[in-house]
């Protein structure tokens, strides 16, 4: 299982490859100018921000359970209680 610390140190291209090969796609939301894909990798939820206008992935980071963006996820899926209570 890949730990967040290990994943975080990878090169950007390697992160993308690892998510697609070893991660599980959970869902996608629209957030401002992005399509945000949520993946489960090991025990971590990771967000991938895809910019349609530039046709590229702009950022990949660990989901922040305290961010207001969470309401978009809550409406569509049931996240584990430990994620919600963080």
**What tens digit of pLDDT does each residue of 77-86 get?**
766 666 555 5
Report pLDDT for 1: 81
Write down the pLDDT at residue 80: 65
Who wins on pLDDT, 72 or 3? 3
Pairing status of strand 34-41 against strand 56-62: unpaired
Scored b (16 or more CB within 10 A) or e, 27-42 reads eebeeeebebbbbebe
- pTM for the full model? 0.83
């Amino acid at each position: 299982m890949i730990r967040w610390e290990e994943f975080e140190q990878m090169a950007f291209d390697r992160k993308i490859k690892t998510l697609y090969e070893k991660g599980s796609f959970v869902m996608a939301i629209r957030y401002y100018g992005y399509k945000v894909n949520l993946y489960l990798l090991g025990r971590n939820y990771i967000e991938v921000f895809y910019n349609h206008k530039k046709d590229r992935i702009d950022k990949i980071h660990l989901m922040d359970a305290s961010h207001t963006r969470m309401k978009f996820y809550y409406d569509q899926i049931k996240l584990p209680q430990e994620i919600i209570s963080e």
